[in-house]
Amino acid sequence: MDKVMKNKTAIFLFMFPATFLFIAIIGVPIFMSVHYSLLDWNGITEGTFIGFQNYIELFKSPSIRFVKVIGNAFLLAILSVFIQLPLALWLAISLARGIKGERFFVTIFFIPVLISTVVIGQLWLKIYNPQYGIINAGLRAIGFDHLTRTWLGDQKTALFAVFVPILWQYVGYHMLLMYAGIKSISSSINEAAMIDGAEGWQMSKYITIPLLKPVLQVCVIFAVTGSLKAFDLIYVLTNGGPAHASEVPSTLMVSMIFGRNRYGFGSAIAICIIFLCFFFAILIKKFFRTEVE
């Protein structure tokens, strides 16, 4: 192994395929998006260089309200971190204790991750339907007619109504990551803690969760960046409506590019999404590194 590490030719040959694919699939598109974001371009005719005008308009235009759009994405990220991840952690700890039917429940909770997001969107459209949806029907059945509403059509509830399917779909994904992390903890550590008198919540607080921090870091990064670039489920359920109440950067970007043929402006939004994802990924890694120290 040491000989291979000292052989620069071998290192180059091993790294070249992955590096080439990374540059071709990620590097080049980002570079091209930066270039397009500096143009006034409709995607057909030749673009006109306008510098940072797209970025200035993005944050200053009252009709775009990009700050509110980013705020919606941040709210989804906060809900994901403080609702979805704790629920996933609770499920993972509960299942990892060796309950009856452990593998069955792990599979059941993970199934939504495997289902197409469009299918999930259509399913929840039926659930939220104001006439025959199960939520309103259930409320009427127990006498709470005054609580029924058009969940996806009300500005006050649209974003939270969108979050519920996101929670339902991805809680199993994070649960499986945490479950695998818990299972990888040496049984001797748990046995030593039990001999010292630790049990139940103490085991989770002082043994499981501290040793699970690398996995929790990954889950937080996935939850935050996933919320910042969320698109498909929101597009199917509300398309950013009503009145931009559930608009997020990705739906706004698609609207600008394919709805208004503003490819340069849409590319500026894409660069902002990339920047936010990288920034928060680095920030979260630094936070967890500080916690460990």
Domain CATH code at residue 256: 1.10.3720.10
Count CA atoms within 13 Å of residue 281 on its CB side: 13
* Phi, psi for 21 (deg, rounded to 5): -65, -40
Residue 52 has pLDDT above 90, yes or no: yes
Please choose, from the candidates 212, 224, 197, the residue with its C-alpha nearest in 3D space to the C-alpha of residue 284.
224
Residue 276 has pLDDT above 90, yes or no: yes
Residues 34, 220, 217, CA angle at the centre, nearest 5°?
105
- At 110, the pLDDT band (50, 70, 90 cuts) reads very high
Output the pLDDT for position 281: 95
The answer to whether residue 31 is domain-embedded is no
Residue matched to tokens 């127990």:
142
Helix 213-228 and helix 158-183: axis angle, to 10°?
Answer: 150
Angstrom distance (rounded) from CA 242 to CA 160:
13
Output the pLDDT for position 3: 60
Q: Which of 8-12, 68-72, 136-140, 182-186 has the lowest mean pLDDT?
A: 8-12
153 or 98: which carries more pLDDT confidence?
153
- At 5, the pLDDT band (50, 70, 90 cuts) reads low
User: Are 183 and 220 in contact, with CB atoms under 8 Å apart?
Assistant: no
Residue 231 has pLDDT above 70, yes or no: yes
The answer to whether residue 205 is domain-embedded is yes
What is the rounded average pLDDT of the residues 251-255?
A: 95
- At 1, the pLDDT band (50, 70, 90 cuts) reads low
Angstrom distance (rounded) from CA 145 to CA 134:
13
* Phi, psi for 228 (deg, rounded to 5): -70, -30
The answer to whether residue 280 is domain-embedded is yes
The answer to whether residue 191 is domain-embedded is yes
Q: What tokens appear for 4 in the block? A: 């291979």
The answer to whether residue 1 is domain-embedded is no
Residue 190 has pLDDT above 90, yes or no: no
Count CA atoms within 13 Å of residue 37 on its CB side: 21
Angstrom distance (rounded) from CA 215 to CA 207:
14
Q: How many domains does the chain have?
A: 1
Across the chain, mean pLDDT equals: 91
CB within 8 Å of 148: residues ≥ 6 apart: 130, 135, 136, 139, 140
Output the pLDDT for position 227: 95
Output the pLDDT for position 202: 77
The answer to whether residue 25 is domain-embedded is no
- At 292, the pLDDT band (50, 70, 90 cuts) reads low
Q: Which of 23-32, 124-133, 206-215, 264-273 has the lowest mean pLDDT?
A: 206-215
Residues paired with 48 in a beta bridge: 40
Containing domain of residue 189, as a range? 65-292
Output the pLDDT for position 172: 96
Percent of the chain with pLDDT over 90: 74
- At 188, the pLDDT band (50, 70, 90 cuts) reads confident
pTM of the predicted structure, to 2 decimals: 0.91
The answer to whether residue 50 is domain-embedded is no
Residue 129 has pLDDT above 60, yes or no: yes
The answer to whether residue 29 is domain-embedded is no
